[in-house]
Amino acid sequence: MRTPKVLVIGLVLAGLTGCGTAVAAEGSPAWVTASPSPSRTHAPSHSASPFSSPSHRATHTPAHSSSPTSTATSTPPSRPTRRAHHGGPANSLMKTGQNGVALTFDDGPDPVQTPKLLDLLKQRHVKATFCLVGQNVAAHPGLVRRIAAEGHTLCNHTWRHSLTLGKRKPSAIRADLQRTNEAIRAAVPGAEIKYMRAPGGNFTPAFVDAATDLGMTSIYWQVDPRDWDHPAGESDDAHEAKVIRAVKKHVGRGAIVLSHDYGQPDTITAYQTLIPWLQQRYKLIALP
């Protein structure tokens, strides 16, 4: 627990020094304006979450309103060739393409929360998708082995969760994704890694192309219950209730649901309530 915390805090600090533009960009996400903004509760700024201090959080006030009217003006005309479930930034995947709902958990593995989540998923016979951060993979390879051994789907979430990786040179993007895949495969030899999620949902065409070249489909989300957004004045119970309410309100057939296993204990407890509720209404699937 200690080591990764220190590691992550270091990352936050490192990130923040060069993060003014990243923060500003998230407030005004110029490189994700292609997003049709699925009029759900998403906000690309979610990715700040795992590394948030309260002050960091404060700088990440989500720029995207969940109001459909406020986002409608930035919605580009849909391309005729775009398949319905490819509605995310840079044509990333927002929906599963089938009736099943996919739960996705980002930023781990977390030495404390991920085992709890895996226990819950096993108990409820649910397969999910884990978007792993390379540095956390390297720190906790045993958890990656457990995730894979229990039948969950693996997703590359970049080496150090840089929110601006998509704006770098294609060779740098590719190297980052490859390094992350290598760490996953060092833990699980021969592991299939079919998906990539850009930190913050900050996909760019170059980012998606690099993932495609490496055999990975880029996944965004349709439902973001904002489990990463836990203001200082909000009690844990209130936060958990907010997450539960948001998922219940916005989930539908084929939804990809974004949540975080890294550093979000209330998310795990929220899913103790949500999974039975979801199972009564939907088939829960790992992304295929």
Residues marked as catalytic: 106, 260
Number of H helices, E strands in the chain: 11, 7
Please name the residue that has the structure tokens 């580009």. 76
Our CB check for Zn ion shows the closer of 228 and 271 to be 228
Our CB check for Zn ion shows the closer of 199 and 225 to be 199
DSSP per position, 100-154 = -EEEEEES---TTHHHHHHHHHHHTT---EEEE-HHHHHH-HHHHHHHHHTTPEE
Our CB check for Zn ion shows the closer of 106 and 224 to be 106
CB burial of residue 7 (10 Å; 0-12, 13-18, 19+): middle
Q: Nearest 10 degrees: CA dihedral of 139, 141, 143, 147? A: 130
User: How far does the chain reach from its first CA to its final CA, in angstroms?
Assistant: 31
DSSP per position, 187-248 = HSTT----EE--GGG---HHHHHHHHHTT-EEB--SB---TT---TTS-HHHHHHHHHHHHH
d(CA 75, CA 57): 27
- The residue ranges that bind Zn ion (CB under 5 A) are 47, 106-107, 199
| Least Å from the CB of residue 106 to Zn ion | 4
| Least Å from the CB of residue 199 to Zn ion | 5
d(CA 170, CA 175): 9
